[in-house]
A and B are shown apart, each in its own frame.
Chain A
């Protein structure tokens, strides 16, 4: 499974996704006695189980950071595999950063993910509005086609996409990486369902004043949709930031690669260096994990509202 799949995961009719905030009550308030029981034994067991799971889940990340802080010799020493004989060092990080391509790939990833997010959210919001609030010939039909295409996995389009980029002479350009990623029928669906939930009374006044659709969209619908747009944007951004297959296929020029592609495709000239490999990994993982640490609530909400593709 690729992390981007979720962006185009299938969605079907059913209730619109309620913003999590509206339906969620703080779990802490409910207290353990409702779901778990108040017994200290149950609590202790649950806590132990959680702790074990958390250790298993945190260990790989911890080990990556730990390895990155060793020297190359210590990282590949089979006898003293825990404590480095030569102490800890930042050499691996220094080498990786000095090589310079990691920051470049980060920049590429950021630019590409931002462009994908802006275009996707903008066109999907407009289309969602069109399908929710306007009438035109073929609307129903177009909506059906859009929904049906949610089933098309982007993985299966890589070959024709590449051929298309050859035809357009766009192989190895940012445009080739970005454009195919901006088609997100699932996001259109989610935003359409969201607009459906906005009461019509709110725009009536503006309409009586003779406001155009553009005006209503801009000054009524969008301001009311900020949390939803934020959720969708976060989701699309994470998907694009971590997307691998299409950026991997569409770029061969290392100067254009994104982070996930670059760190795996381009080798340094000095062979297998585990400490440096882990240093790159830690640096590559850092941006989103840091963002998560600071904006946990928003990201959790984004996944909760968007992750089911509108289910």
Chain B
């Protein structure tokens, strides 16, 4: 290692011949000299693993762990015959802001995965950044996936400047799960065996129903895991806020228009839901799942994506759309969709393979419905097989009233915005911050976010 730098290092001297070297070239040359030090330029030759991988492999990033993770493996397996010769290689990354941070950074670097799962609510922030490539709708149609196969409301969110940047896989609402025996004992089931949503229609009734459930379970009523969670607080809040008939008007560079009274009412209600007496107080996400699966509680407020986990613990587990507590039906939801991380010079054949794989996965959506998700590709939900799915068919109506996060660049699943909102909510719910002050704190934070220049 004591040998002097080789000939290539000479060009790294800034005083050498500056005119002939661009800044970039200079850097490259200097890097080369560093590489020579490492032994014959082996280092500079180290590309990413992507470069070396099998051309028949479609590398996919997703955020599905838990029951969803296992099911996606199955889904890909079922889709296999529809994408002959293609192998889909999954990487599961930590859900939340870290996932979208990594996805953005990988896309910026141009060596990202071939395809990635993204929440539809993130597209408003993502597409304008130039971090995504658009889908070739012609190619998708060739593989049997067309615009008319999706609900308009869903498809509209995939568009940016006339191009399609997302292919939706599902809609996944935030709903309620319950143990039917406990609910029956609490007198909360209708004759048909459905959850009696009327018993939950109103803040007081909801809390009262929780009390009944606590009595029936012998321990506690309704679980909700939110402590230190980056999204749960917001999911519950935003769905309920939209039930009050209000919305946020979010002009970037301006100030938010919101109904602070309605926000206060919703926060006060959330607080009652985790009072620590009828309902467990200090649950983080996994602890809430444990509380429900251990039958410590009779019900849980949760995304339908946990269906697999719950069914493993209680094969009879019931589900219902999130009850309309504040008058206007609204169910918080999002949509998992496929996006193409930016590639400076995409390989056409490989892109084609990627389109084919995604189309195949959509068409096998019946498997995905097993996880609880409502498949976005409608030819699947129109089948009789789908209608027979229990308890999925019981909350499929939730899809009629879904609300997604506001379409503004800083919002969406896994955004810092959701996290920041959830933290204010946690302070109100757990640490005694007064609901009206929490509402105003949220408005302040929204205004701060609006005042920041959009990075696009």
Direct contact of A and B (CB under 8 A): yes
Taking the complex as formed, is B108 at the interface, i.e. its CB lies under 8 A from any CB of chain A? yes
CA distance A123 to B5 in the complex (A): 11
Interface residues of B in 42-80 (CB under 8 A from A): 43-44, 46-50, 64-70, 72-73
- Decide: B93 and A265 in contact? CB cutoff 8 A: yes
Query: Is the pair A266, B48 in contact by a Cβ cutoff of 8 Å?
Result: no
The answer on a CB contact under 8 Å between B106 and A252 is yes
Asked if residues B43 and A249 are in contact (CB atoms below 8 Å), the reply is: no
Contact check, A271 vs B2: say whether CB atoms are below 8 A apart: no
Partner of A270, one of B4, B38, B66: B66
Complex interface bits, A163-174 against B, C-beta within 8 A gives 1, otherwise 0: 011111101111
Q: Please, how many residues of chain A have a CB less than 8 angstroms from a CB on the other chain? A: 42
Least Cβ–Cβ distance between B191 and chain A, in angstroms? 36
Contact call B50/A253, Cβ cutoff below 8 A = yes
Report the contact-size class of chain B (Cβ under 8 Å from the partner): 35 or more
**98-122 of chain B: CB within 8 A of chain A:** 98, 102-103, 105-106, 108-112
CA distance A117 to B58 in the complex (A): 35
Least CB distance from A49 to B in Å reads 35
B31, CB-defined interface residue at 8 Å: yes
Residues of the A chain whose Cβ atoms lie less than 8 Å from the Cβ of B3: 214
Alpha-carbon distance A118/B39, docked complex (angstroms)? 11
| Cα separation A172 to B64 with both chains bound (whole Å) | 23
Q: Is A190 an interface residue (CB 8 A)?
A: no
Q: Indicate if A22 sits at the interface (CB-CB under 8 A).
A: no
- Secondary structure at the B interface, as helix, strand, loop or mixed, is helix
Say yes or no: A172-B106 contact (C-beta < 8 A), given A119-B34, A253-B111, A271-B65.
yes
Q: Of A175, A264, A268, which is within 8 A of B43 by CB? A: A175
Asked if B186 lies at the interface with its beta carbon under 8 angstroms from chain A, I say: no
Q: Are B69 and A270 in contact (CB under 8 A)?
A: yes
Interface flag for B248 (CB, 8 Å) = no
A122 B109 Cβ-Cβ under 8 A = no
Report whether A123 and B28 are in contact in the complex, using a CB–CB cutoff of 8 Å: no
The distance from the CB of B9 to the nearest CB of chain A, in whole angstroms, is: 12
Residue of A nearest to B37 (CB): A119
| Contact A166–B109 (Cβ < 8 Å) | yes
Asked whether B91 is an interface residue with its Cβ less than 8 Å from the other chain, the reply is yes
Contact with B along A85-125 (1 / 0, CB 8 A): 00000000000000000000000000000010011001100
Complex interface: chain A residues within 8 A of B50 (CB) = 172, 253, 255
B441 part of interface (Cβ distance < 8 Å): no
Q: How many A-B residue pairs have CB under 8 A?
A: 119
B94 contacts chain A at the CB level, 8 A cutoff: yes
Nearest opposing residue in chain A for B102, CB measure: A252
With contact pairs A266-B94, A271-B67 given, residues A162 and B105 touching in the complex (Cβ less than 8 Å): yes
Closest-CB distance, A139 to chain B (whole angstroms):
17
Min distance, Cβ B287 to any Cβ of chain A, angstroms: 9
B160 at the interface (CB under 8 A from A): no
Asked if A267 meets B94 with Cβ closer than 8 Å, knowing A175-B31, A217-B2, the reply is yes
* Distance in Å: Cβ of A69 to nearest Cβ of chain B: 21
Task: Output the least CB separation between A140 and chain B (Å).
Answer: 20
Closest to B73 in A: A269
B24 touches A (CB below 8 Å): yes
Distance, CA A249 to CA B92, complexed state (A): 17
B309: CB under 8 A from chain A? yes
- Bound together, the chains give a CA A256 to CA B111 distance in angstroms of 12
Contact of A115 with B43 in the complex, beta carbons under 8 Å? yes
**Which residue of chain B is the closest to A169 with respect to CB atoms?**
B110
Q: Which of B28, B111, B309 contacts A271 (CB 8 A)?
A: B309
A42 contacts chain B at the CB level, 8 A cutoff? no
Within 8 A of A (CB), among B366-399: none
* Contact A252–B27 (Cβ < 8 Å): no
With contacts A172-B48, A179-B34 known, is A118 near B90, CB below 8 A?
no
A256 near B4 with CB under 8 A, answer no
Q: In chain A, what residue has the closest Cβ to B71? A: A269
Q: Flag whether A230 is at the interface (Cβ < 8 A).
A: no
B92, A267: Cβ atoms closer than 8 Å: yes
A178 beta carbon closer than 8 Å to chain B: yes
Contact (A265, B2) CB under 8 Å given A167-B24, A249-B105: no
B169 to chain A, nearest CB (A): 16
Question: Which 4 residue pairs across A and B have the least CB separation, nearest first?
Answer: A269-B69, A171-B109, A255-B49, A252-B106
Q: Please list 14 pairs of residues, one from A and one from B, whose beta carbons are closer than 8 Å in the complex, sorted by A's number.
A: A115-B43, A122-B2, A167-B24, A171-B110, A172-B109, A175-B43, A175-B46, A254-B91, A255-B49, A267-B92, A268-B69, A269-B92, A271-B69, A271-B309
Q: Which residues of B contact A (CB under 8 A)?
A: 1-4, 24, 27-28, 31, 34-35, 37-38, 43-44, 46-50, 64-70, 72-73, 90-95, 98, 102-103, 105-106, 108-112, 286, 290, 309
